[in-house]
Structure 1
Amino acid sequence: MRLTIASGVAAFTAALLLTPLFQGGGWFWTSLGAVLAVVAAGLLSSRLALPAWAAPLLGVAATWIYLTAAFASEKAWALVVPTKGSVVELARLLGVGWADIQRFAAPVPETEGITLLTAGGVALIAIAVDLLAARVRRAALSGLPLLALATVPATILTDPISWWAFIVAALGFVSLLIADGRERVGHWGRAVLVRRSRQTASGPLAGNGAPADTSGLRLSGKRIGFAAILLAVLLPAALPAMEPVSFFTFGVGGRGSGPGNSISIPNPIANLKGQLDLPERRVVLSYTSSDKKPRYLRIYALDTFDGQQFGMTQPKGAPENRTENGPLPEPPGLGPEVKINNVVTNVQISDEIARLQFLPLPYPAREIRVDGDWRADVDTLMVFSTREEAAGIDYDVMTSEPEPTADLLDSFDGIRPEVDERFLALPDDLPPEIRQLAEDETAGARTTYDAALKLQQFFTKPGNFQYDLRTQGHNSSALRNFLISDRVGYCEQFAASMAVLARLVGIPSRVAIGYTGGVQVGDRWEVGTNDSHSWPELYFEGVGWLPFEPTPSGAAGQGSARVPPYAAPRPTPTPGASNTPTPGASSSSADEPQNPATRRNPRELDREGTAATGTLPPDDSMPLIGKIGIGAAALLLVLLIPAGVRLITRNRRVRSLGWKVSQPSDELTARMAAGRNQVTVAAAWAELDDVLFDYGMARESSETPRALARRLSQQYEFDAGSAAAITAIASAVERVLFARDPGRIEPMSKDLRKVRQALAATVSRGRRVRAVLLPPSTLRRLRLLGERLLDGFDLLETIRLRRTAAQKGG
């Protein structure tokens, strides 16, 4: 019976790990009732001595009756007996609960269906644990179903399991192992409680037929169990975060990794449409920039097109790409010929942003200063986190923004783009009218860059397209209708359509989703929900990814959208003007060196941490050596706790040793004097006992104070002063213990100091250092405290669950 109860306790304590999955506590009491039903069935099985295979069946029946009473009592006979109607009702609730689990994210609301599924699942785990531990007598194997229960929150939640819930669950499993061990050892004889604080001589079997003493076995098992739990809780907190190795395909953003190992990515298109549809503007973030200019802030880069809409490849963030490690990876395709504008932007995210795990950033970011574990995707330079959320954070971004000229972009024509093929991939069933449209609109383009300008002009030319949030959705026919027939949509249709047309003419493209520059309020730019935006980014080898703007701006379109300078329509040449391009026409010679070989890498940092024209603000965070020093100091303080306890105890005793007790003049004064004498002598004797233990000279339990003083004086050859001091202490102890009137007790602080110095002179330096830094007397008290706690567990174990035959006969 003990094993059955321990199995139920282990199953229910493991179920506590499910707490973060629910919004309320109703599941807790329902699951407790289910476990109690299983325990009752197990006790009945043991009482009737049923075979091992019958106990789980009885447990399932008990669970069925309990769930019927809890969830379908109105359709059951006598509220508890299952009927056809109650079975149908339970089946319906199970289906509803399963649908709710698929629909809600943790923490889930406590619907009837979800509570039924939870209670039934916990009951099945309890039945499995009872079968393995109480029936098959394989208590260690019962940890497998308990582990299965613990993996549920570990795979669903991103946060680690609560330490207190882990400790409770581990104690439940340890109690099951202890109960199993007690059952096995109990076959040797009746278990006897032996106080560990007393020295007892014991053997496997006493000569007079006494039962076996198993206290040593139980003590070792408990110590191992408690030590394992303590290490499991404390050791991970002291270790640095571990990263999965690359050859195991686990980790952040690995292709094919499970949902528990990757970041949760919302639908960017749905979020974009939802923010644009809000009835009132809400501030999402604000920012300042060193050049006082607004800029687009990109969150997502969508690179795959399935024929209906653009999607995003799972980002990959290696440990070396953490933002705290310094500069981010190089932006793809950016060469040294392009003029770079280095800008520092400070971004503050609103607290109202929910579940945003990507940072809104100007492109391309070179370095980011932000608190938390944020990482950069090498291909897209999106910065994301699997642990942090962006709500309420403040961060600085240093960007190296390319400022190419039209002539420079023309000069890169014909260079094969070195990008992944997915940026050019299109479905085979793309309508032929769209392919023909791309060819017609780019006909006559002299260069790839010129073709991109013609595509953008096709969307922005007055009268061609109309901006409207009311669209027909996402599919191949919607794309065809937007481009060919109705030509009505909002930024997502404009951006996706231009990206598709660009791929059709051989220009790598992707769709960016984020925010436009917003509106200026004071010295900051405020970005609201109405500034949510989508735009295409096209790739040009030598420059990299450049944003274009096909969406109409102003009152007729996206209010704060703007066309980049390099994407503006080419000026119409005037008659007689020279068409020969002038190198560096858009920038001064001082800003743009003419020799690319001597041009500085725009992303290379100076030794002082500065770049060509922009610097991040000084890092106020503590350097690594400072953090290591604080950690070492904290560890040292923890190790010095025993020394501190010993010092406090000694000072308290020494203060009591300095009391002066005058001769009593009446009965009340005499009683007070006697009490003071006892306190003073007890403090001196306790301090002397600790000093001896710290120096490895513990006194014998049968030694009287006088005998101890004589032995120490002779063994360690005390001088006359030290011998007199320890004799005075021993005499005072005997007078208080045995004399009816001990008389006046002189202060013993000086005598105790002489004795301590005399004893210290007889031991090695290492022993004296240990006595100060790691005093054995204090460690002994901690050990005795632990033994008393274990004695308390032994007292619980001696409780009999049923009366023995001898007790019944008495």
Structure 2
Amino acid sequence: MNGQRHATLVAAATLALTLTPLIGVFAGLGWTVPVLMAITAVAVSGSLMRAAGRGQGLQTLAMVGSLLVIMTAGFNGGTAIALIIPTPATFSHWGELSGEGIQQIIVNSPPVPAEGGILFLTMLGVGVVAILHDMFVVGLRTPALAGLTLLTMYLVPVSVAPEATAWFWFILPAVAYLWILADDNLRRVSSFGHRFTGAGHLVGQHFPSPLARTARWSAAGFIAVTLLLLTVVPTNTSGLIDNVAEDFGGTENYSLGDVNPWAQLSGSLNRPEEVDVLRVTTTDPSPRYLRMHVLDELTDDGFGPNDYSGGDDADGLTGAGDDEQVFEAQIENLQMEAPVVPVYGDPVGLDIEGDWQIDEDTGVIVGDGSDMGDVDEYTVTYTEPVPATETLAGAAGMDPSDERWESNTDHPDVPELADTVAQATEGAGTVHEKVLAVLAYLSPANGFRYSLETTDAGNDQAILDFLETREGYCQQYAAAMAWMLREAGVAARVVIGMSQGSRDGDQWVLTSHDYHAWVEVYFDGPGWVPFDPTPASGVPGSVGFPWATEPDTDENEEVNEGDPSAEPSEAPTDGATAPTDASPGAEENPTDDPTALAGGDGGAGATRFNPAWLALLLLLALPLVPALWRAGIRRSRLGPGRLSALTAWDEATDLALDYGVAIAPSLTPRQAAGVLAHAAPGARDAATALGAAMAQQRYSPRGAAIGGLADAVRDLHSQLDKAAEPRRRYRAMFWPASLAVKLSARQAEQSADMARRTARTADRMRSAMRRARRSNSRRERSVTGRP
């Protein structure tokens, strides 16, 4: 029974160890308490049923019941009886929480708050896995199957957080699995009966078997090789949830040729392989951004798209006015697989295969059963309006009576953000002034910098974290600017598409690293006008908009209104040093992970502590531990105040063990010295001196002089090392046999001492019981009182 209790603790502890990858999924550690409570409830209920002698069926029912109780206590929604007994309404509430949690998994980017539906699904999932884990480890005694439950716990965070695939997250789950196997084997061996050493000493059940050392080395080698493979083998760092998002009403199934239509306020970017997506030949000498998705639905986590309602066929695009300059772009599709058509500016004509419609609210061209993956080439004719700065300065915003007003100004109520926006836009009266004020607030001059990941500052809202840490990538900049403008009463939305790309002769090449996000602001008259708040040095192919300046800008900064667009800002090249407003070498990069729409070089941001380096250093230092331990023993024996003929001889015999020189215990010191001299001919004098000193120490009443003994030991060590084969030399250094013998002898001594104490205690108990029986027998035979 004690063995089962111990196995229950091992099962619970190993499952808890595999929770470590979830650290990268959730913001903070608040999730650990309810999850560990679920594991504890399952373990305790199963252990109590086993203590009562119940079978596996009743054990499983008890564990399920305890999980239901603790889940009801935490997520009853006011529908439970006595807070712990679920009702049909409770299960309905759980269904709502499950739907909410699935939607949060699809939409949000790690780290996410541990609350609501996500916490419910996590706690429920861990509880179910804990039941199966306990069944495999304790109930059915099939520890190998426990690897499936541990693998499940590892794969879940990998599915939603690409960072969890990092090799150092694998260490604790691997150790947990080896712990389960070792504990089960030890329980099986200990059930065979009393165990004895080769010398006939009784030892305890935890005394290592002769194969224990081999097993430990094999396990350490397995972990080391696995970690090495994890560091060098390329992996797919996209979350598995991306591939099933469509089934739950989320986004489409994305690849390197598409981009997720979300602008999150937190997360990190992962750089996938760079591939050419589009090749453009255009009459526009300096094209701007390719427009794909429009995001006008704002939540606490950022911007997402409303359902595109469709509208007129794309074939029915109206032509340009007489005074408008029209450009034509022939676009070759290399990898694009999006459900929308990337277009420049205001399209006035589209020649493309398939059925496509224009969304009336956003102008996005959406496939009506068609996809860009089926299009090899298409042609778009378009205009690129260049509103004068003075025009925008005098233009009003969207009329509140406009039916589009609510969808483009609605925002969550965040009092702290309202105060920030009020301070940033103080003195700004017009829409254009408010836009410029927000742009100035988010600029590098105000401390904002480009970074491939955001930092959790501990605020309740992700936007407050971004505004406090002042670092992020295009998603955060675009979402923050649009939200701040909405807070200031300005209609704004986020657009996702592709930047200008890079020039290749007379063509433009857009790669999977050119996905980008920016902002559109509504002005009465000009309509939706683009602005880009992301630091230009962080965006390859970034375009500067001439109207994003004060009306009285300097002459050398003005752009002729006849020009189609401003000249693009220079993008950082490989090896170039980025300006101070961006991370070195940082670039926007795409990813098929919903947490990011673009990727970048890995060198963004200041140097950060990476736990992978610490884990790697510890792994590399592990083989040095025995060598350092052995060197410490040698220094202690030969150090001042400790050196004697006895300590010098002990070191000499230990060196013989380390280098495989067999010295029989029956040999005298002089005979043993002869064996050492034969093994290391160059140390004959040193071995003879050590043997003579040990003999004198044993038989002379005055003992032996210690002069020269330390040098003799060092000489012996050097000659033994020189005479040994390379394999024996490395083994003597990194896994000295004398150290293993000492550890085994110490364990044997402790086990034998425990066995002796146990035997003495048992003898005393038996003697006390015999005395008690004799005393009772005498009292029963005695006669008291008078006849």
Question: If you compute each CA radius of gyration, which structure gives the higher value, 1 or 2?
Answer: 1
Instruction: Report which structure shows greater RCO (CA 8 Å, sep ≥6).
Output: 2
